[in-house]
Amino acid sequence: MIDLRLLREDPDRVRASQRARGEDVELVDALLAADERRRSSGVRFDELRSEQKQLGKQVAKAQGEEKAKLLERTRELAAAVKAADGEQDEAAAEAQRLLLQLGNVVHPDVPVGGEEDFTVRETLGEKRDFEAEGFEPRDHLELGSMLGAIDVERGAKVSGSRFYYLTGVGALLELALVNAAMAQATEAGFTPMLTPALVKPASMEGTGFLGQAAQDVYHLEQDDLYLVGTSEVPLAAYHMDEIIEADRLPLRYAGFSPCFRREAGSYGKDTRGIFRVHQFDKVEMFAFVHPEEAEAEHTRLLEWEKQWLTSLELPFQVIDVATGDLGASASRKFDCEAWIPTQGKYRELTSASNCDEFQARRLSVRMRGDGRTRPLATLNGTLCAVPRTIVALLENHQRADGSVRVPEVLRPYLGGREVLEPVAK
C-alpha cells in the first residue's frame, strides 16, 4: 500500500497515478475522507478519555449533590467514549479497505496508456531469415510433437484445455532450463528457494494479487488457501511481520515453484500449444533492498534477465510497460519479449518489477537502521517461465528437418546434447 503521508501531502500525484492506470480516481477522495474521519474520531476519543480520567478523580473527592451530578456526567462520558471508539474503529476499517484498493504510485517515467503503448528500450539478438535458409519455420507445437516433447491432447484429456505434458526430451529440457537458470541466479548471489504452492489469504493480499488480479487466482475455499500464480507471493511473504537489520540488505532469493493461473479473460488468445496455460513452472528472482536502492536494483534485475536470454541465444526486445498494463503493486515494469518466428512478433518471456515500499507496507516487512524502523523496498523478476521459454527455444533454434539446436548454456544439463532429434513415429 502507499504511504498515507504521500496521500495527504500530494493527493494530486496519487490522482494522476490512478488516472494513468485507468483506475478509479474518486477512490483517492474517498480514502482522504475516510482517513480524516479516522483521525478526527481518534482525536475526539482521546479528548473524551482524558475528560473521563479527570472526572474520575473529581468523583473520588466529591460528596452529596455534586457527586451525583459528576456520576451522571460519568455515565454520559462512558457512552460517548464507547461511541467515539466505535466510530474510530469503523473509520479505520473503511480507510484500510480503501487503501488496499489503491494501486502503487507509478514512476514518472512510465509511458502512459494501455497494453500496446509501451516503449522499446532496446533490441538484442538477430532474427533468423528462414526464407533465405530455404524452409518455412514450424511452430513449437509441431516441433514438440516431432521431438516427442509436448503432448497437449492427453493434457486436455486428463485435465482440460490449457494443460499439457512435457515428455521425453521436453521434460529434460525443462529440467535443463531450471538448473541453468538457478545456476546463473546462484552465481549472481541469489539464495535458491523451493517455495510453497499454497498460501494464506494474508500472503496473497499482501503482495497485491487479490485486487485486479483476483480473477486469475485459484482459491481452495474449504481450506481458505490460494494456489500461487508466481513464487513472488511466498518469497515476498517470507519475511512478513519481520524487522530486518539494514546491514543485512540486500536479501536476494531465487524461487522455483509451480504456478497456477485461471487466465480469465484470455479465452481465444494463444489457445494453440503451451504459450498460455493454467499450470507451469518458473524460476523467479526476488529482492528486499533499501528504498534508496530500488531503482538501481530494478536495473540489475533487468540485466540478469538480459544475460539469461542472451545465453539462450534468443532475439528479444526490452520494453517499458505502459501504466495501464502494470500490476497493482508495480511502480514500473520492464519486460523482455522474445521473437516468436511463426507469430511474427515479440512475446513476453521475462519481466522485472519495482514495487518500492508498496508490498512491504502491506506485509509489514521493515528494516532497522540509523536509529529508526521503516518499510523497505521489494522487487521481483521472472528469470525463466518454462513453457514460454521452450516455445521460443524450439522455434528460434529449429532446423529444416525438425531437429532443434541446443544452446551451449543448456548442453551440460542435457547430457552434452547439441541437438534434439525428431523421434520415430
pLDDT tens digit sequence for 287-339 = 999 999 999 999 999 999 999 999 999 999 999 999 999 989 999 999 999 99
Judged against a pLDDT cut of 60, whether residue 59 lies above it is answered with: no
Is 331 strand, coil or helix? Answer: coil
Same domain, 128 and 74: no
Q: Which of 99, 128, 150 is the last residue of a domain?
A: 99
Residue 339 lies in a domain: yes
Same domain, 238 and 384: yes
**Predicted confidence band of residue 64 (pLDDT cuts 50, 70, 90):** low
Judged against a pLDDT cut of 70, whether residue 97 lies above it is answered with: yes
Number of domains in the chain: 2
pLDDT at 263: 83
Judged against a pLDDT cut of 60, whether residue 379 lies above it is answered with: yes
Q: What span, in angstroms and rounded, lies between the C-alpha atoms of 388 and 408?
A: 19
Q: What span, in angstroms and rounded, lies between the C-alpha atoms of 231 and 259?
A: 7
Same domain, 90 and 124: no
Same domain, 178 and 87: no
> Which member of 21, 38, 252, 261 is catalytic?
261
Same domain, 279 and 388: yes
Q: What span, in angstroms and rounded, lies between the C-alpha atoms of 380 and 233?
A: 10
pLDDT at 144: 97
pLDDT at 49: 73
Write the CATH number for 134.
3.30.930.10
Q: Which of 33, 65, 99 is the last residue of a domain?
A: 99
Same domain, 88 and 235: no
Pick the range with the lowest mean pLDDT from 50-64, 114-128, 179-193, 242-256.
Answer: 50-64
pLDDT at 65: 61
Same domain, 125 and 49: no
pLDDT at 136: 96
CB count in 10 Å sphere of residue 112? 14
Pick the range with the lowest mean pLDDT from 82-86, 96-100, 122-126, 257-261.
Answer: 82-86
Domain with 55, as residue range(s), is 4-99
Cis ω for the linkage preceding 250 (within 30 of 0): yes
Question: What is the distance, to the nearest Å, from the Cα of residue 17 to the centroid of all Cα atoms in its chain?
Answer: 18
Q: Annotated catalytic, 47?
A: no
Judged against a pLDDT cut of 80, whether residue 410 lies above it is answered with: yes
Pick the range with the lowest mean pLDDT from 6-10, 62-66, 173-177, 228-232.
Answer: 62-66
Torsion of CA 220, 102, 327, 123, to 10 degrees: -170
∠ CA 152-155-159, nearest 5°, is: 145
Same domain, 70 and 205: no
Same domain, 319 and 415: yes
> Quick one: what percent of the chain has pLDDT higher than 70?
92
For 178-201, b where at least 16 C-beta lie within 10 A, e where not — what string?
bbbbbebbeebebeebebbbebee
> Which member of 17, 41, 351, 353 is catalytic?
351
Write the CATH number for 41.
1.10.287.40
Question: What is the distance, to the nearest Å, from the Cα of residue 94 to the centroid of all Cα atoms in its chain?
Answer: 25
pLDDT at 8: 87
pLDDT at 298: 98
Judged against a pLDDT cut of 70, whether residue 373 lies above it is answered with: yes
Q: Which helix (H) or strand (E) holds 336?
A: strand 332-340
Average of per-residue pLDDT across 276-281: 95
Cell numbers 522455434: residue? 395
Residue 183 lies in a domain: yes
Name 351's bridge partners: 335
Same domain, 169 and 27: no
> Which member of 37, 73, 128, 276 is catalytic?
276
Cα–Cα nearest to 177, from 318, 398, 349? 349
Same domain, 175 and 77: no
pLDDT at 219: 94
Residue 111 lies in a domain: no
Give residues with Cβ within 8 angstroms of 64, minimum separation 6.
none
Residue 132 lies in a domain: yes
- Phi first, then psi: give them for residue 92, nearest 5 degrees: -65, -40
Confidence (pTM): 0.90
Q: Annotated catalytic, 348?
A: yes
Q: Which three cell numbers stand for residue 44?
A: 475526539
**Predicted confidence band of residue 13 (pLDDT cuts 50, 70, 90):** very high
**Predicted confidence band of residue 266 (pLDDT cuts 50, 70, 90):** low
User: Could you tell me which residue, 199 or 82, shows the higher pLDDT?
Assistant: 199
Same domain, 133 and 95: no
Q: What span, in angstroms and rounded, lies between the C-alpha atoms of 209 and 260?
A: 13
Q: Annotated catalytic, 332?
A: no
Q: Which of 44, 67, 99 is the last residue of a domain?
A: 99
Name 381's bridge partners: 285, 352
> Which member of 348, 364, 374, 405 is catalytic?
348
**Predicted confidence band of residue 5 (pLDDT cuts 50, 70, 90):** confident
Residue 110 lies in a domain: no
Distance linking the first and last C-alpha atoms of the chain: 55
